[in-house]
Amino acid sequence: MMRIIEPGMRSAVQDFGRFGYLSKGLTRGGPMDEHAFLWANRLLSNHFNAAQIEITLGGFEVEFDRDCQCAVTGADVQLTLDDEVLNTWQNFKVRAGQRLKMGYASAGVRAYLAVQGGFQVEPKWGSCATVTRDSVGGLHGDGSFLKAGDELSFNEQNYQVSRRVGWAYRSDYQKTPVIGLIPGFQYDAFPMSAREAFCYEDYEVTKDSDRMGIRLSGKALEYNGEGLVSEGVNVGSVQVPANGQPIIMMNDRQTLGGYPKLGTINPFDLGRLAQCQPGQTVRFTRIEGKVAQQQLRRFYQFFNVRLACQADDNLRS
Amino acid sequence: MKEESDFPKLVSAGADAVIVYLGEGISVSVNQRVLAAVKAVKEQLSDVVLDLVPSYNSLMVYYNVLNIDEPEIRERLRKALADLSSDTNELSGKLHRIPVLYDESVGPDLARIADMNNCSVDDVIKTHTEQTYRVHAMGFAPGFAYLGEVSEKIRTPRLDNPRKRITAGSVAVAENQTAVYPSASPGGWNIIGRTSTQLYDPSSGTISPLNVGDEVEFYAVSKEQFIEEGGDTEALS
């Protein structure tokens, strides 16, 4: 068992997400940074969908009452096991009674704590992903964040050899990221000036960003097209509200929306975007859907991701 | 105005989704085509589709990128949607009847709607229950169904100042649409009553039985019936 001593601001259980209920208005949830999440599971030879804890901006502490093996990936945080300083992006052994402590994120936003075998949390509609706005998932099933005293159980341990993620596979969260945009939705209805501004100007991530959307500030994007009737919104969709400041819709997005959209971010780059701290600059560049799709397929294949519709009945009925 | 032959129109919705537009604006006939598209896609593409999100005039198709690429799914969608069924009987949705306590304690905007439309509160209730509504879209929040169309006799704009918290089960009207709030949330629609029918409750695994294309009728119940069925009588202001 692992007990939460200091929960941090918005720590919550996430698996890969809740699929198959979008038509009922239930959003996907899941890790904001799939890249870091999938690496944490891989370091422990876990199933790709094994439940982890997503920790926002650090400031987190837990105590274990049994031996286990863990890994922390994502944001740059100082990690200590009792008095021993550990590296992130590697697996490590924990003995019963030890405390794992995470400092505040110096770069990046979201850290992932995985345990070998995954945390055992009862799924709701096929997933234990915590979605606060839908009051669903997580340790208590109601979408709430973890709090001090919460206890998470995990399965039998089967130790792995020491592993770490090579630098070549890690992102430098301090560098200005260049994020791919796949043109789509109302792209053709935006004036050339807006399309160019989005891909040639710098944008800044604002502090209002959350798991629903990464809000940007920068050159306002004009839209002179017709008003829109509400339609589906994908994770990564670049929504442009009336003030022209784009919002990248993230895992806890609304399933429908009525704002015009320039297109959708390359899913492979979304995790990097999720790691941008408020005030950080981001740049966008156009990418062909075909290229993004090949990249996504290779990424999923590398991590043995299997996609399936969890609401099978929903699709058949 | 675009020609009907412009539709279905397929547009990229990211690396793992395509959005299909079946027409323009909001109408039963376009929504009916959306429904026909849902049926065709379920029948012919269930091996590669992960999720479908129908709305007023569009259908979002999320697909499994591990099994199919964009050119291929576009090709299969074009084939599946080439000859959409026009047999509307076959496509008619289920009818759901929802009990409502229409009372000013739980429907604080009843009087406002009556005032703005020069009628009595009883007229508002009668008009709201006379109509059969169609589910045009589902979203915004889990289990939230957009129902149309509300009779012109009681159409009322959204509130200038949205309420910070609306009780779950609240029945609401905004312009030509009506809806039930499945869970407590902020909102700017006019609240006219409350239902005891649960439309979203993760703890019991309840999710709205409504689907796009279904029909909904509301009927008035007494306070006693409402309480008997487990309704929450806490007043809303």
Which residue among B11, B49, B51 places its CB closest to the CB of A185? B11
- If phi > 0 it is left, if psi is from -120 to 50 it is alpha, else beta; for residue A296 that is alpha
Residue B85 pLDDT: 65
Q: Do A296 and B203 lie within an 8 Å CB cutoff?
A: no
The verdict on A151 and A61 lying in the same domain is yes
- How far is it, in rounded angstroms, from Cα A289 to Cα A294? 9
- How far is it, in rounded angstroms, from Cα B82 to Cα B36? 11
The verdict on A201 and A224 lying in the same domain is yes
Last residue of a domain, one of A128, A150, A167: A167
Q: Are B175 and B158 in contact (CB under 8 A)?
A: yes
Of A37, A40, A69, residue with least CA distance to A160 = A69
Length of chain B: 237
Q: Do A232 and B19 lie within an 8 Å CB cutoff?
A: yes
Q: Are B114 and B175 in contact (CB under 8 A)?
A: no
- How far is it, in rounded angstroms, from Cα B57 to Cα A283? 33
- How far is it, in rounded angstroms, from Cα A251 to Cα A254? 9
Q: Which chain A residues are Cβ-neighbours of B202 within 8 angstroms?
A: 124-125, 134-137, 141-143
The verdict on A127 and A212 lying in the same domain is no
Q: Are B197 and B96 in contact (CB under 8 A)?
A: no
Phi/psi for A106 (5° steps) reads -85, -30
- DSSP of B25-70: SS-HHHHHHHHHHHHHHHHHHTTTEEEEEE-SSEEEEEE-TTT--H
Q: What is the pLDDT along chain B (237 residues), one digit of tens a residue?
A: 555 578 999 999 999 999 999 999 889 999 999 999 999 999 999 999 999 999 999 999 999 999 999 999 999 999 999 988 666 566 678 999 999 999 999 999 999 999 999 999 999 999 999 999 999 999 989 999 999 999 999 999 999 888 999 999 999 999 999 999 999 988 899 999 999 999 999 988 899 999 999 999 999 999 999 999 999 999 988
Q: Which chain B residues are Cβ-neighbours of A297 within 8 angstroms?
A: 65-66
Number of domains observed in the structure of chain A:
2
The verdict on A186 and A265 lying in the same domain is yes
Residue A235 pLDDT: 98
Domain assignment of residue A229, yes or no: yes
Domain assignment of residue A151, yes or no: yes
Q: Are B147 and B178 in contact (CB under 8 A)?
A: yes
Q: Are A105 and A77 in contact (CB under 8 A)?
A: yes
Q: Do A25 and B138 lie within an 8 Å CB cutoff?
A: yes
Residue A89 pLDDT: 98
Domain assignment of residue A236, yes or no: yes
The verdict on A125 and A212 lying in the same domain is no
Q: Which residue of B has its CA nearest to A138?
A: B202
3-state secondary structure A79-148: EEECCEEECCCEEEEECCCCEEEEEECCEEEEEEEEECCCEECCCECCECCCEHHHCEECCCCECCCCCC
The verdict on A29 and A10 lying in the same domain is yes
Q: Do B58 and A231 lie within an 8 Å CB cutoff?
A: yes
Where would I find the H helices in A3-51?
Answer: 34-43
Judged on CB neighbours under 10 Å (0-12, 13-18, 19+), A33 is buried
Between helix B28-45 and helix B70-81 the angle, nearest 10°, is 120
Residue A225 pLDDT: 84
Amino acid identity, position A123 = P
Q: Do A23 and B137 lie within an 8 Å CB cutoff?
A: no
Residues whose CB falls within 8 Å of the CB of residue B168, separated by 6 or more in sequence, listed in order:
B181, B182, B183, B184, B198, B200, B232
Domain assignment of residue A315, yes or no: no
Dihedral sign, CA of A39, A42, A48, A49? negative
Residue A236 pLDDT: 98
Domain assignment of residue A84, yes or no: yes
Domain assignment of residue A316, yes or no: no
Q: Which chain B residues are Cβ-neighbours of A235 within 8 angstroms?
A: 14
The verdict on A214 and A130 lying in the same domain is no
Last residue of a domain, one of A167, A189, A221: A167
The verdict on A238 and A154 lying in the same domain is no
Amino acid identity, position A285 = T
The verdict on A61 and A180 lying in the same domain is no
Q: Do B141 and A234 lie within an 8 Å CB cutoff?
A: no
Domain assignment of residue A220, yes or no: yes
Residues whose CB falls within 8 Å of the CB of residue B145, separated by 6 or more in sequence, listed in order:
B135, B137, B138, B179, B180, B199, B208, B210, B216
- DSSP of A43-68: HTT--TT--EEEEESEEEEEEESS-E
Partners of A22 in beta bridges: none
CATH number for the domain that contains residue A194: 2.40.100.10
Which residue among B11, B54, B183 places its CB closest to the CB of A184? B11
User: What number of other Cβ atoms are within 10 A of residue B23's Cβ?
Assistant: 22
Tell me the two tokens of residue A263. 């297109």
Amino acid identity, position B221 = V
The verdict on A136 and A262 lying in the same domain is no
Last residue of a domain, one of A120, A150, A167: A167
Q: How many Å lie between the alpha carbon of A300 and the closest alpha carbon of chain B?
A: 8
User: What number of other Cβ atoms are within 10 A of residue A178's Cβ?
Assistant: 13
Residue A314 pLDDT: 46
Residue B4 pLDDT: 58
Q: Tell me, what's the ipTM?
A: 0.95
- How far is it, in rounded angstroms, from Cα A264 to Cα A286? 10
By residue range, what is the domain housing residue A203?
A: 176-301
Domain assignment of residue A308, yes or no: no
Q: What is the mean pLDDT of each run of 10 residues along chain A (317 residues)?
A: 96 96 95 98 96 97 96 98 97 97 97 97 95 96 97 86 93 96 97 97 96 97 89 97 96 94 97 98 97 96 88 47
The verdict on A34 and A126 lying in the same domain is yes
The verdict on A68 and A131 lying in the same domain is yes
Tell me the two tokens of residue A39. 């690496």
Amino acid identity, position B225 = Q
Tell me the two tokens of residue A32. 């904001």
User: What number of other Cβ atoms are within 10 A of residue A126's Cβ?
Assistant: 17
Of A277, A305, A289, residue with least CA distance to A76 = A277
Residue B186 pLDDT: 87
